[in-house]
Amino acid sequence: MPKYLILAAVMLTPAAFAVAQTEDPVVLPQDNPAAPAAPEVDKRIFGVLPNYRTTENAFPFQPLTAKQKMTIAVKDSFDWPAYLIAGSFAGLYQLDGQNPSFGQGVAGYAKRAATAYGDQMIGNMFQEGLIPALGHQDPRYFRLGEGNRKHRALYAVSQVMVARMDSGRRTFNFSEWGGAAAVAAISNAYYPDSRNVSDNVQKVLTAVATDAFSNVAKEFWPDIKRYFQHRRERRAERALGQ
């Protein structure tokens, strides 16, 4: 599974990066002081997955404080679905036989679940909190919400390469890649079977590819949610009409 994620990231991010460069300039608050406030963003994808760092691209850019960035990182790290996600990855890793020194059975699963959660928590704290706060970069995903599906999908994937500084200027997403590298380096302390260069490169690419697919989910989740809401409404109308 990780190999497919890595392949997708390597193939899609260059094209998506080119798409992102054609976007309109960022609108700063002082350029449009009368603009309406952004609506509340759904904090759960499929009612479960945390979605604390998504905002709408259509509304004026408002930079976050260092405290707000750390708050996002903490919410994503310690929200209850994070433990379920870690448990799910642990099951996949156990089936795949990754980190054989952990063994099998309950003990092996517990070690894989703990380390999978550690990867998530460390990654969130570095990618969404520490590096953005120190480097003055915005950790949020700015949802496009319009245009054809291909363009939106490429835009979503491109955001692992492109980020905004607190000034609103677009630049390389060093928070994403620096955070992924930090996780890979720190994880060598608790992954005895994967401490060589090749394994660490794979860890970085897998983390970034996972975030790329997460961005796609964030981009299209409101559309998916509306689709199912409309289906329920149509069923309710048909039921009333009978």
Would you say residue 174 lies in a domain? Answer: yes
Residues 6+ apart with CB under 8 A from 165: 136, 137, 138, 171
Would you say residue 61 lies in a domain? Answer: yes
CB 44 within 8 A of CB 51: yes
Which residues form the domain of 94?
2-23+57-241
User: In which band, very low, low, confident or very high, does the pLDDT at 11 lie, cut at 50, 70 and 90?
Assistant: very low
Reply yes or no on whether the pLDDT at 2 is more than 80: no
User: In which band, very low, low, confident or very high, does the pLDDT at 166 lie, cut at 50, 70 and 90?
Assistant: very high
Would you say residue 96 lies in a domain? Answer: yes
Would you say residue 47 lies in a domain? Answer: no
Beta-ladder partners of 171: 163
Give the range among 43-47, 138-142, 196-200 with minimum mean pLDDT: 43-47
pLDDT in tens, 116-155: 999 999 999 999 999 999 999 999 999 999 899 999 999 9
Would you say residue 175 lies in a domain? Answer: yes
Look over the chain and give the mean of its residue pLDDT values, rounded to a whole number.
Answer: 82
Q: How many structural domains comprise the chain?
A: 1
Reply yes or no on whether the pLDDT at 23 is more than 50: no
User: In which band, very low, low, confident or very high, does the pLDDT at 226 lie, cut at 50, 70 and 90?
Assistant: confident
CA atoms 115, 119, 121, 122: torsion sign: positive
pLDDT in tens, 89-101: 999 999 988 889 9
CB 127 within 8 A of CB 139: yes
Would you say residue 18 lies in a domain? Answer: yes
Would you say residue 38 lies in a domain? Answer: no
Instruction: Name the E strands within 90-161.
Output: 137-138, 141-143
Chain centre distance of CA 213: 7
Which pTM was predicted? 0.76
Would you say residue 67 lies in a domain? Answer: yes
Give the range among 23-32, 95-104, 143-152, 197-206 with minimum mean pLDDT: 23-32
